[in-house]
Structure 1
Amino acid sequence: MGPLTSAPVTLLLLAGNAFFVASEFALVAAKRPRLERAAARGGAAARAAVAGIDELSLMLAGAQLGITMCSLGLGVVTEPAFEVLLDAPLAAVGVPESAARPVAFTLALGVVTFLHMVAGEMAPKSWAIAHPERSALALAIPFRGFARLSRPVLAVLGGVTDGLLRLCGVRPGAGADPPADPQRLSHLIGESRRLGLIDRAEHDLLGRAITTRQEGIDHLVVPAERVTTVPADAAPEEIRRASAASGHTRLLVRDGRARVAGLLHVRDALPHGPDGRTAGDMTYPVPTLSLDTTVLAAVSTLRRARAQLALVATPENPFIGIVSLDDLLSELLAGNPH
C-alpha cells in the first residue's frame, strides 16, 4: 500500500482507536442515574449507554478488541508506508543504503507511536473523563452495535481467558457483573491524575475517600444518652424549649413505650402552626442502620431516604444512638484515620 493510500487508512485507524478508548472510559466514568433519567425521557442513546453499563465486562472486552485491531492495523499499514516515504529523504541527506532501512523503521515507529498515544489514546481518554455523560451518549449506540456484532468472538476470547485463569488456580468472576464502584473510581482517579486532570491534593483526597468506604460507622455514633428526645404528646412550646436547651433543631420523638417513633424539626413547632398539635403529629420516619454498616453504605441509605439522621441499632438494642449525614460526609471526604 502506497503512502497516499495509507494516509486515509491511518486516519481511519486512529479515529477507530480513539472511538474505542473514549467509549471505554465514557462507560466507566458516566454516572448511571443521569443516564437512567435521560433514558426515562425516551433517549435511545441513553438506553444504549445504560445497557452497556449493565454489561460492562462485555463492553470493556469489546473496547480492548477494537483497540487491539486498530493498533495492529497501524503497525501493518502505517509503519511500512512511512518507511517507504522516508527512503528518498534519507538517501538525499546521504544516509548509507545499509543504514537507511533501520533509520526509516525507527523514525516510522516513533511517528506512529506518537500519533497512536496522543490522537488515539490520551486525547479521547481525556475527553471521555472530562465529559463522561456527553461522550457516553454520543458513542453508546455504535459501540453497543460493535459489541453485539463481536459477541461471538468475545465469548471465545472470554472462555479461553477463564480457562487460563482456572489453570492458574484463579476463579474467574461472572462475566456479566460490572466491577464494584470503588474499583471503577480508583481506576478513574489514577487515570485522571496521570493525565493531569486533577492535582496531587485532589488525587490524595479522593483516594482517602475510597479507602474510608470500608470503615464502619461505630466511631461516628452519638450515644443514646446524649440524644435529645421529646415525648410524642409534647406540645409545640415544650418542643421549642427542648430545642433551645440542647441547641439541636432535629429532635427524636419517643412513643408511649419509650421507643423512638421518628424525628421532627423544630420549625414545625413554631407558633404560626395550627393549635393542638403534638410532637407525634409532626413526626416523620427515620432510617435505622446496624452498627456494622460502612460509611459509604450509610451515606447511600440516608440519601435514598432523604434523611439527615439515622438511628443505630444492634440485635439486642433497637436504639443505641444516632449518626448524622454531616458526620458521615465529613468522614467520607476527609478520610482521616481513627
Structure 2
Amino acid sequence: MSALYLFASLLLLLGNAFFVGAEFAVISVRRSQIEPLAEAGNKRAHTVLHALSNVSAMLAAAQLGITVCSLLLGALAEPTIAGLLEGPFHAVGMPESLVHPVGYALALALVVFLHMVIGEMVPKNISIAGPEKAALWLGPPLDRLARWLGPVIRLLNAFANGVLRLARVEPKDEVESVFTDEQLLHLLADSRAAGLLDERRQERLEDALELGRRPVTDVLLPAEQLVTVGPSVTALEIEELAVRTGFSRFPVVDEAGTLRGYLHVKDILDVDDPSAPLPARLWRPVTVLRGTMPLDDALGAMRRAAAHLAAVVDQDGRKLGLVALEDVLEELVGEMHDPDHRQVART
C-alpha cells in the first residue's frame, strides 16, 4: 500500500509541476511568437492563441490544479513517508516518544523540498527559458481542462474579478503584449548594454521610434523658399534652373497657386522641342499631407502613393510647403548621399 501511495504522490508532484509550468508559459509567451505558427497551420498554436485570449480562465484553471495537487500531496505523501521512517527509527533504538514527531518533521521537510524544487522552481524556469516551446506543449492541455471545468472556472473568475473591481483594478482577459515608446527605448538601452546591439543600430532604432512623435512640419520645405515653375515651362528653362540651383525636382504651380505636380530633370531629356511647353503627362503626382501627421505615417502615405514629394497643408487646407521622401528617410537612416537627393530649389 505504501508503494501505491508513493506512486500517487509522485503523480501529484508531476501534476503540480505541469500546472506551474503551464501557468508561467501562458504568462511569458508573446502572441507574436505563436501567431506565425498558427498561420502555418499548427493546431497547437491555434489552441495556445485561444488560451492567450482567455488568460484569466487559464490562470484560474492552473491555480485550481496547483491547489488540489498541493493539498493532496501534503495529505498523502507526508504520513506515508513518516510511516516508512518509523521502522528504521525503531531499529536504531530511537525512543518511542520521538519516532512519530521526528518522522513527521523529516517527511514534511522532504515533501516541501521536492514540492519547491520539482513542483515549482524547475517547471517555472523551464517555461521562462523557453516560453514558446512550453506554451505549445503545456498550453493545449490547460486549455482543454479550463473548458471541461468551465462552470467552476467561471465561478472562480467571477469572485476574483469582483475583488479586483472593489480594489479599483479592471480585470483583463489578455496579457498586455504591446510596449510604449518609452518601454521600447529602455529595451534598446538594455540590449545595447548587454552587447546585443551596436551603437549605430541602437541609434537607428531610436530614430525610427522618434518618427512616430515628430510631425511632418519638422522636415518641411516652406512654400516661400521654393522655386517653382509654371504649367507652360519648357525643357530649356528646367535645364537652366537645374544648372543654376543644382536641384533635380521642381514643383509645378498654376496661376491660382495650386500645386499640380512636379517635374524631374531626367523626364525632359528626350523631348523633341526643348523650347516648347512641356506636356502635363510629364508631371509627376504629389500627394497631400496634414502638417500634424507623424513622420512615420507620412512615410507610409508617400510610399503607398509612390510620391517623392508631398504637399503639406494646415487644418484649413492652406499650403505650408513641401516634404521630400528622402528628407523623411534621412530622419530614419541618417544623411543620404544621393545625387537626386536635393529635391527642390529654394530661393
Q: Sort the TM-score into its range (normalised by shorter chain).
A: 0.5 to 0.7
Counterpart position of 2:13:
10
Letter matched to residue 88 of structure 1: L
* Unpaired stretches in structure 2, ≥5 consecutive residues: 335-347
**TM-score, normalised on structure 1?**
0.58
How far is 1:312 from its partner? 5.2
3-state SS of paired residue (1:30): helix
* Unpaired stretches in structure 1, ≥5 consecutive residues: 332-338
1:88 aligns with 2:85: yes
| Contact 2:215 2:294 (8 Å CA) reproduced | yes
CA distance in 2, matches of 1:243, 1:79: 89
1:283 aligns with 2:284: yes
Counterpart position of 1:334:
none
Letter matched to residue 111 of structure 1: L
Counterpart position of 1:123:
126
How far is 1:61 from its partner? 0.8
Counterpart position of 2:55:
60
CA distance in 2, matches of 1:152, 1:235: 80
Counterpart position of 2:219:
221
- The correspondence for 1:106, drawn from 109, 122, 146, is 109
How far is 1:72 from its partner? 1.8
Letter matched to residue 119 of structure 1: V
Letter matched to residue 217 of structure 1: P
How far is 1:307 from its partner? 8.0
Q: Decide whether aligned partners of structure 1 residues 275 and 25 sit closer, same or farther in structure 2, where only a CA change above 3 A counts.
A: farther
Q: Decide whether aligned partners of structure 1 residues 103 and 4 sit closer, same or farther in structure 2, where only a CA change above 3 A counts.
A: same
CA distance in 2, matches of 1:146, 1:184: 38
| Matching of residues 34-183 of structure 1 within 5 Å | 34=36, 38=39, 43=41, 45=43, 48=46, 52=50, 56=52, 58-79=53-74, 83=78, 84-85=80-81, 88=85, 97=99, 98-128=101-131, 132=132, 145-168=144-167, 170=168, 172=170, 179=176, 181-182=178-179
How far is 1:124 from its partner? 1.8
Task: Name the Cα RMSD after superposition.
Answer: 5.7
Letter matched to residue 61 of structure 2: G
How many residues were matched structurally? 306
CA distance in 2, matches of 1:114, 1:156: 31
3-state SS of paired residue (2:170): coil
CA distance in 2, matches of 1:82, 1:158: 30
Identity within the alignment, %: 14
How far is 1:6 from its partner? 2.2
Q: Decide whether aligned partners of structure 1 residues 29 and 224 sit closer, same or farther in structure 2, where only a CA change above 3 A counts.
A: same
**TM-score, normalised on structure 2?**
0.57
| Contact 1:312 1:320 (8 Å CA) reproduced | yes
